[in-house]
Each structure stands twice: as structure tokens, then as C-alpha cells.
């Protein structure tokens, strides 16, 4: 019963709501905008749940293997008989899992925003942007064609830009939105080149055909793309690494991560939706989508994915320990967790038991969406209450915000990987996948997991325990029902999501993957995580000087981590000092003097000539008659004597 | 009876034509210019009649043309004088040099 038209409604409902709110929202809906947006996304969520049920339990499986179903396909631009850009819908385990995650988290954020953004001046604009984002994200995950994914990829970039810069009267928000857009756009340049390389060599844009042509060993396309090389690497490696560059930009992987912390300038629910749960995992999704090519044809590119992932993960975790803005801490933790997903893909291989990393990565994506959205929404509630982003202004809030406190604690336990919360299961899978294939990555990952536990509980204890902050201003309650309800729902999900038998549904080749929990294996990571928690507890539960003393001892590392290892400064140096001075200014000089000069010269010449000959147009009839007369004489001479 | 040679008549008509052209270029008074145009037209008339008479004596095409030109000249004179009168009303002058607004 997987009707293409019904499934396309999942995508189209948010689009319709975007159009309605965008065109008429401010004038006719005002405060009802939220209801309109939420209703459409609610319908979309229901539809995607039905689709998921149909796919996973009724029609998707043939002989125990989940099939790729093209539910809808429409040829949009036909370039040659072989190459066309299609718009369509692909259903396979990861896309179905993603639409559930995207619509569900989006619904939660829509509901939450009803309370959080209440009274905001541009309330309906906000909801229309949210709808636009949901539309483009759904289009991205359901894309059946690498060019379609690129189109929606850019659309999520735009909606992210719009939402980061939502408070456009705040200069920092404007700068952040510009930064996010430019950095991801730069990465997308690589993505585009990658697409062109792959599709040029495989002569198709369609995912299924592309994967089939570039993986089967006897395919001539594969031989061709491997044979042609550039700078010592095959065209295939270049294509895949460049595609990964696009993914790394969107997913804030090192060294393209600099935009994500700044993106926290947007409204907090937006951070929960876009910069934690959905858009930033698009890169992971992209690699997963092309995973057979990475795993079967070009393991080298997969190693790049793995090392970039683990490095970003560790790097972000270290920075997260020093930040004091709670949203920034969460941003770095997002980056770190996405690093986990990336290297899980990187250490995986295709098919059967060896595809554990793939499944673990998708599993972590699934659980991470739940608890990270919960963390952000909880942080939003705290910020709403305290009117500040800074940890130093908080403390002792557990008495005032019991629900937020409890759900935040659940999310922290989940991200730290304490059983039986969701994060534990997915993180264990990732660690065991890493353990099987690459010990270096495994040890780094387990260290990162410990750091994760530490900084999350540093956050938790600083917000809800520690010394009580001086709260100024009148004290409203914890938040409206619409704000608390998503927290509770997501809290429940963060507990139960881990018990989903994920390997049954999602695996690298579609067949069921049995995963076993080795209790002995789990002991070490859980102990390390607990260690991190206790360390954080001793430092931050009560106000004391231990943390400060440590930071004094580790002065050099602490300051550089606090300044995010000076990456913003490095980028500024590269762009402002090097690129602007060495390329920008000469180019500007060339433009101003050579290009403009040439045009100005033409203009001046024309003016001079016209000045000299305009006297001919004297306005005197007799002059014209003389011209006419001599013209005729000229013609007469011409015809009689010259052209006999 | 002695016929006047063709060349003599053509000489007269050519002279008449260039006198008309000269007048058209040099007179500043519009009435004078109009009269010059009439001279040009009449020189053409003479040419028509002469060629008809000397080259195709049994045809009347040239005569018809010259009558046609006379009619046109009458109409043209009417229009031109109307223009000149209007110009006089607006510019208080019929000097062509005063009517040079239509320039670059």
C-alpha cells in the first residue's frame, strides 16, 4: 500500500504550509500560524509513521531482505537519452527511518515553539521557515537521485541560513548566519564537483544505477573510473572524497566545523531541530546513501571518513569541556556525536556481520536525534527561565524546574552511554564495530566517550546543582504545557529508543543483522563513562575551586581549548590576511582598472566621436537638403562611373 | 519648320533645375524656397514633355506625367503654404534659420 502519491504528501504538506504561512501568515493568521504549521507537520508525521509501518512490516521485505522501492519517479530534465535529472521518492530502510525521525523531531519542535516563541513579532515567519526546512529535509532524505539530493541539500542550507539569522537585528546572528552559509556553501562546491565526477564517469545520476555501476567488479564504468587518475588518486577516490567534503561541511566535521557553534545564535528550538537532530546528520546520511560505493570500490575514501570522524569527535569533546555557553557546549557535543556516526561508517564494511558499523551509525543517528533534541529543548527551557545562555548565571535550578531537570538528566545519561538509556545501545554498537576493525579508533573513541560523559555532566551539574544563581526579574513558571509536553515525550523516547531491535530493520545490505550485547565488552565503556560523571560531580556539584585549579594546571591546553584551538582565528587569518590581500585586492584592482578601464575607454571614445559629429544634426532644413543633394550626386557617380 | 534641337531644350531645363536647387539651398525665406521647388518641378516637366515629343512622338506618357506633376505641385503648394502660415503664427517668422529646434 505504499502509494507514491500518499508518500509525496509527507513532503508536500510542509511545503503547502510554508507557502500559506509565507504569503498570508503575517496578515491573516498571526498567532494561529503556529497551529497551521503544527497541524500540517502532525499530518505529515502520521503519514510517515504509517509509511514506516507499511514498509517495515508489510511490503518492504522480500525473502528477508529489505528492498529499495522507487515509490514515485518523474523525469524532470532530460539532457541526453541516458542522463536525466529525475524527481522521485526512494524508500529503503534508512530513508524510511529518516522520515520518521525528521517528522517526529520537527513535530516536537513545532509544538515546543508554540510556547517558546509566543509573542514573537515574526511568529508566522518563524513557522513558515520551519515548514520550509522540514520540506527540504524530507525531500533530501527521500531523494532518489544524486542531483535531487543536491537541490534539497542547498534548500536546507538556505532554511538553516534564514533561521540562524532569524533575529536579524542582532549583528552576531547575522554574522553567524553568513558564516554558516558561506562555510557550508564552500563545502558544497566540493560536493558538486564530486557529483559531476561520479555522474560523468558512471553516466547516470540515479542512486540505484550509480551504485550498481560503480560496485559490480565487471562493470566497465567502474574500470574506467578507477583507471583515470589525477594527482595519484583515482577519479573514484576524488569523487567520493569530494562528496564527503560536502557531507563534512553540512555535518560540521573538522575542519569545516567552525559554523556550527556560531549557528547557536538562532532560536533554541531551531538549534534542536536543525543543528542537532536533523540537518547536521545529512552528511552522515549522504555517506550512508552511497555506502556501497565507499565500502566496495574505494576503502581509501572510507578511511578518510573514519579518521575525520574520530578526530572531529575527540577535538569537539575537548573543546566542549571548556565552553561556558550551554548551547555551545551542546553544539560541540553534537559535532562530537556526529563524529561517532561518521567513524562508525568509516570502520564498517559492506554486508552481513561486517556491516555492523553501518547499522550502528544509523542507530546512533536515530537515538542521538531523540536525546540531542531533548537536550536542546531542555536548554531552551532553561534559557527561557534564566534569560541567559551562560552557565555562570545558572545553578540550583532543580528546585524550580523539576520536569526540565528530570528530562535533562535522562538525556545526559543517554548521551553518556549509561544503560538502559538509548545512547548506551547505539554507542556500544559503534564501539564494538570500531573494536573489530581498528584498535586505534577504538581507544580514541572510548576516551571520547569518557570526555563526553564528563562535559555533559559538567553542564548538568552547573545548571541544576552548584550554588544557586541570583535570578533577577519576575519569576514565571517552568514553561507552558506546550513546552513541557515535547520534553516528556522525548524523555520517554530517549529511554525506550535503545530497545528498538535496530539491526532487524537497518543494515548495510538490507538483510537482518543479529547483534548481540556482550556484557563483558560493555563494562569498560560504562565504567569510563561513570568515571567521567563522578569527576564532573566532584568538580561541579557544589561550588568549589577544584575545576579552577585544574584549569590553572593545564593552562596552555585549557586556554587553547577555550578559544576553540584558535580555528576561527586561523580561518580569519587565511581569509582576511591571505585571500583578501593576495587574491582579493589584486582582483579588485584588476577589475577596477583593467576591466572597468576598458569599458570607460569605450564610453569616452564614443562620447568624443559623438560630440564631434553631432553638429551635423543642426536642425536646419537646408543643411539636410544639401546632404541629401550631395548624397544623390554621390549615388549617381557611384552607379554611373564606378558600377558600370 | 525648323525644330529646336533637343540639346537646347535640355540645357534650358537643366539650367532651370540647378537655379531651383541653388535657390532652395540659399534662400532663407520659406516662400522663396517654395518657389525654388516649383522651378525644379517645372524643369522636370519640361524634360518630360521634350522627351515625349522628340523620342516617342506617338505616345502621351510624358504629357500625362507632366500634368500629374502640375497637380501634385498645386497640392504641395497648398500644404507648404499652410505649414508656413502655421510656422509664422508660432514663431513670428518665416525664416528657416529661426526654426532649428529639431537638432541633436
pLDDT digits (tens, 9 = 90+) for B25-47: 999 899 999 999 999 999 999 99
B78 domain residue, yes or no: yes
Stretch A70-85: mean pLDDT, rounded? 80
What distance in Å separates the CA atoms of residue A226 and residue A233, rounded to the nearest whole number?
A: 9
pLDDT score recorded for residue A596: 92
Q: Mean pLDDT across the stretch A175-198?
A: 89
Tell me whether residue B92 is in a domain: yes
Would you state the pLDDT for residue B48? Answer: 93
Q: Is the pLDDT of residue A474 over 60?
A: no
Q: How many CB pairs under 8 A join A and B?
A: 27
**CATH number, domain at B63?**
1.10.287.3510
Contact at CB, A619 and B101, closer than 8 angstroms: yes
Structural domain count, chain B: 1
| pLDDT of res. A2 | 65
| Mean pLDDT computed over every residue of chain A | 84
Given a cut of 70, whether residue A471 has pLDDT beyond it is no
pLDDT in tens, A358-405: 888 888 888 988 888 888 888 888 888 887 778 777 777 777 888 888
Chain B hits for A622, CB-CB cut-off 8 Å, are 24-26, 33, 96
Q: Tell me what percent of the residues of chain A surpass a pLDDT of 90.
A: 9
Task: Compute how many other C-beta atoms are within 10 angstroms of the C-beta atom of residue A440.
Answer: 11
How much is the average pLDDT of A145-170?
Answer: 89
Cβ-based contacts of B17 with chain A (< 8 Å): none
The pLDDT confidence band at residue A227, using thresholds 50, 70 and 90, is confident
What value does the mean pLDDT take over residues B47-74? 92
In-domain check, residue B1:
no
Q: Does pLDDT of B1 surpass 70?
A: no
- CB-CB neighbors (< 8 A) of A620 in chain B: 96-97, 100, 103
pLDDT band at residue A268 using 50, 70 and 90 as cut-offs: confident
pLDDT of residue A422: 84
Residue A45 CB neighbour total at 10 angstroms: 23
Q: Do A621 and B99 touch (CB under 8 A)?
A: yes
Q: Averaged over A158-169, what is the pLDDT?
A: 89
Q: What is the pLDDT of residues A99-140, one digit of tens each?
A: 899 999 999 999 988 888 887 788 888 888 989 999 999 999
Q: Contact A311/A339 with Cβ under 8 angstroms? A: yes
Q: Which residues of A are less than 8 Å from B24 in CB distance? A: 622, 625
pLDDT tops 90 at residue B12: yes
User: Whole-model pTM?
Assistant: 0.78
Quick one: pLDDT band at residue A192, thresholds 50, 70, 90?
Answer: very high
Q: Please report whether residue B63 resides in a domain.
A: yes
Residue A193: pLDDT above 70? yes
- Which domain range does residue B28 map to? 6-101
Please report the pLDDT score of residue A599 as a whole number. 93
Segment A452-472 shows an average pLDDT of 79
B104:A617 CB<8 A: yes
Q: Does B24 contact A at CB distance below 8 Å?
A: yes
DSSP-derived 3-state class of residue B37: helix
Domain-located, residue B19: yes
| Of A38, A44, A108, the residue nearest A374 (C-alpha) | A108
Residues of B in contact with A607 (CB under 8 A): none
Task: Give a yes or no: residue B43 inside a domain.
Answer: yes
Identify the burial level of B69 via C-beta atoms within 10 angstroms of its C-beta, where 0-12 means exposed, 13-18 middle and 19 or more buried.
middle
In chain A, pLDDT over 70 holds for what percent of residues?
A: 97
**pLDDT at position A477:** 66
In this structure, is residue B21 part of a structural domain? yes
- In angstroms, the separation between the Cα of residue B104 and the nearest Cα of chain A is 5
Chain A partners within 8 Å of B102 (Cβ): 619
Residue A481 has pLDDT above 60, yes or no: yes
Q: Write down the pLDDT at residue B68.
A: 94
Q: Which of A211-225, B70-84, B87-101 has the highest mean pLDDT?
A: B70-84
CB contact under 8 A, A622 and B25: yes
Cα dihedral B99, B101, B102, B104, rounded to 10, equals 140
Q: Is residue A555's pLDDT more than 80?
A: no
Is A626 within 8 Å of B25 when comparing Cβ atoms?
yes
Q: Which residue has the higher pLDDT, A392 or A492?
A: A492
Average pLDDT score over residue span A19-35: 81
Mean per-residue pLDDT, A186-195: 90
**Chain A environment of B101 (Cβ under 8 Å):** 619
- Asked if A400 and A478 count as a contact pair (C-beta separation under 8 A), the reply is yes
- Inter-chain touch A617–B21, beta carbons under 8 Å: no
Task: Give the Cα separation of A507 and A515 in Å (integer).
Answer: 11
Is the peptide bond between A24 and the residue preceding it cis, with omega within 30 degrees of 0? no
Q: Does B87 touch chain A (CB under 8 A)?
A: no
Task: Name A481's Cβ contacts closer than 8 Å, sequence gap at least 6.
Answer: A115
**Nearest chain B alpha carbon to A618:** B103
Instruction: Identify which of B21, B97, B99 has the shortest CB distance to residue A629.
Output: B21
Interface pTM, i.e. ipTM: 0.83
Closest chain A residue to the Cα of B21, Cα to Cα: A629
Q: Do B96 and A626 touch (CB under 8 A)?
A: no
Nearest-CB residue to B96 (from A614, A617, A620): A620
Nearest residue to A244 via CA among A227, A262, A256, A234: A256
Amino acid at each position: 500500500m505504499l502509494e507514491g502519491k500518499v508518500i509525496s504528501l509527507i513532503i508536500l504538506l510542509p511545503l503547502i504550509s510554508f507557502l500559506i504561512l509565507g504569503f498570508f501568515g503575517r496578515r491573516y493568521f498571526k498567532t494561529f500560524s503556529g497551529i497551521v504549521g503544527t497541524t500540517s507537520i502532525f499530518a505529515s508525521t502520521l503519514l510517515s509513521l504509517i509509511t514506516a509501518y507499511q514498509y517495515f512490516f508489510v511490503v518492504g521485505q522480500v525473502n528477508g531482505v529489505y528492498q529499495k522501492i522507487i515509490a514515485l519517479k518523474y523525469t524532470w530534465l532530460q539532457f541526453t537519452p541516458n542522463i536525466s535529472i529525475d524527481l522521485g521518492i526512494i524508500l529503503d530502510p534508512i530513508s524510511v527511518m529518516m522520515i520518521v525521525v525528521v517528522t517526529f523531531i520537527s513535530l516536537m519542535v513545532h509544538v515546543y515553539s508554540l510556547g517558546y516563541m509566543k509573542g514573537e513579532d515574526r511568529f508566522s515567519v518563524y513557522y513558515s521557515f520551519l515548514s520550509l526546512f522540514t520540506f527540504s529535509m524530507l525531500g533530501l532524505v527521500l531523494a532518489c537521485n544524486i542531483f535531487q539530493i543536491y537541490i534539497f541539500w542547498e534548500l536546507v542550507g538556505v532554511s538553516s541560513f534564514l533561521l540562524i539569522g532569524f533575529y536579524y537585528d542582532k549583528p552576531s546572528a547575522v554574522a553567524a548566519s553568513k558564516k554558516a552559509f558561506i562555510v557550508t556553501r564552500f563545502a558544497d562546491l566540493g560536493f558538486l564537483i564530486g557529483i559531476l565526477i561520479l555522474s560523468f564517469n558512471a553516466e547516470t545520476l540515479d542512486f540505484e544505477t550509480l551504485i550498481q555501476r560503480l560496485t559490480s567488479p565487471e562493470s566497465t564504468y567502474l574500470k574506467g573510473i578507477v583507471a583515470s587518475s589525477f594527482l595519484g588518486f583515482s577519479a573514484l577516490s576524488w569523487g567520493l572524497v569530494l562528496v564527503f567534503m560536502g557531507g563534512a561541511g553540512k555535518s560540521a566535521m573538522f575542519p569545516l566545523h567552525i559554523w556550527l557553534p556560531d549557528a547557536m545564535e538562532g532560536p533554541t528550538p531551531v538549534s534542536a531541530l536543525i543543528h542537532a537532530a536533523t540537518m547536521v546528520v545529512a552528511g552522515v546520511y549522504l555517506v550512508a546513501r552511497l555506502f556501497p560505493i565507499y565500502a566496495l570500490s574505494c576503502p581509501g575514501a572510507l578511511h578518510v571518513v573514519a579518521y575525520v570522524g574520530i578526530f572531529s569527535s575527540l577535538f569537539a569533546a575537548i573543546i566542549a569541556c571548556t565552553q561556558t555557553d550551554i548551547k555551545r557546549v551542546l553544539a560541540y557535543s553534537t559535532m562530537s556525536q556526529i563524529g561517532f556516526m561518521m567513524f562508525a561508517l568509516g570502520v564498517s564494511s559492506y554486508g552481513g556481520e561486517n556491516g555492523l558499523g553501518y547499522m550502528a551509525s544509523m542507530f546512533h543517528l536515530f537515538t542521538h536525534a531523540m536525546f540531542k533534541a531533548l537536550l536542546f529543548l531542555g536548554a531552551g527551557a532553561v534559557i527561557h527561565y534564566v534569560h541567559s545562555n551562560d552557565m555562570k548565571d545558572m545553578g540550583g535550578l532543580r528546585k524550580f524546574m523539576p520536569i526540565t531537570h528530570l528530562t535533562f538528566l535522562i538525556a545526559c545519561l543517554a548521551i553518556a552511554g549509561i544503560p538502559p538509556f538509548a545512547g548506551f545501545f547505539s554507542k556500544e554498537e559503534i564501539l564494538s564495530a570500531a573494536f573489530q576493525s581498528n584498535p586505534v579508533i577504538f581507544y580514541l573513541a572510548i576516551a571520547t566517550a569518557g570526555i563526553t560523559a564528563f562535559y555533559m555532566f559538567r553542564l548538568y551539574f552547573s545548571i541544576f546543582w552548584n550554588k544557586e544563581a541570583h535570578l533577577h526579574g519576575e519569576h514565571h513558571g517552568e514553561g507552558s504545557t506546550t513546552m513541557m509536553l515535547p520534553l516528556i515525550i522525548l524523555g520517554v523516547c530517549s529511554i525506550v529508543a535503545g530497545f528498538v531491535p535496530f539491526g532487524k530493520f537497518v543494515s548495510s545490505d538490507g538483510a537482518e543483522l543479529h547483534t548481540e550485547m556482550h556484557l563483558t565488552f560493555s563494562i569498560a565503556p560504562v565504567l569510563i563513562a561513570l568515571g567521567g560523571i563522578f569527576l564532573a560531580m566532584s568538580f561541579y556539584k557544589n561550588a568549589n575551586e577544584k575545576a579552577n585549579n585544574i584549569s590553572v594546571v593545564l593552562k596552555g591546553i585549557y586556554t587553547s581549548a577555550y578559544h576553540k584551538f584558535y580555528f576561527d582565528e586561523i580561518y580569519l587569518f587565511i581569509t582576511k590576511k591571505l585571500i583578501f590581500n593576495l587574491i582579493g585586492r589584486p582582483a579588485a584592482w584588476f577589475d577596477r582598472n583593467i576591466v572597468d578601464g576598458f569599458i570607460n575607454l569605450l564610453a569616452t571614445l564614443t562620447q568624443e566621436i559623438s560630440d564631434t559629429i553631432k553638429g551635423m544634426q543642426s536642425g536646419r532644413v537646408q543643411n539636410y537638403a544639401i546632404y541629401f543633394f550631395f548624397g544623390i550626386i554621390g549615388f549617381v557617380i557611384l552607379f554611373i562611373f564606378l558600377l558600370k | 519648320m525648323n525644330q529646336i534641337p533637343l540639346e537646347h531644350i535640355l540645357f534650358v531645363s537643366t539650367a532651370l533645375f540647378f537655379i531651383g536647387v541653388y535657390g532652395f539651398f540659399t534662400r532663407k525665406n520659406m516662400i522663396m524656397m517654395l518657389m525654388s521647388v516649383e522651378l525644379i518641378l517645372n524643369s522636370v516637366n519640361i524634360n518630360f514633355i521634350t522627351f515625349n515629343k522628340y523620342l516617342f512622338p506617338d505616345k502621351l506618357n510624358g504629357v500625362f506625367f507632366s500634368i500629374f506633376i502640375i497637380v501634385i505641385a498645386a497640392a504641395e503648394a497648398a500644404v507648404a503654404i499652410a505649414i508656413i502660415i502655421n510656422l509664422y503664427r508660432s514663431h513670428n517668422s518665416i525664416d528657416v534659420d529661426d526654426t532649428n529646434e529639431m537638432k541633436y
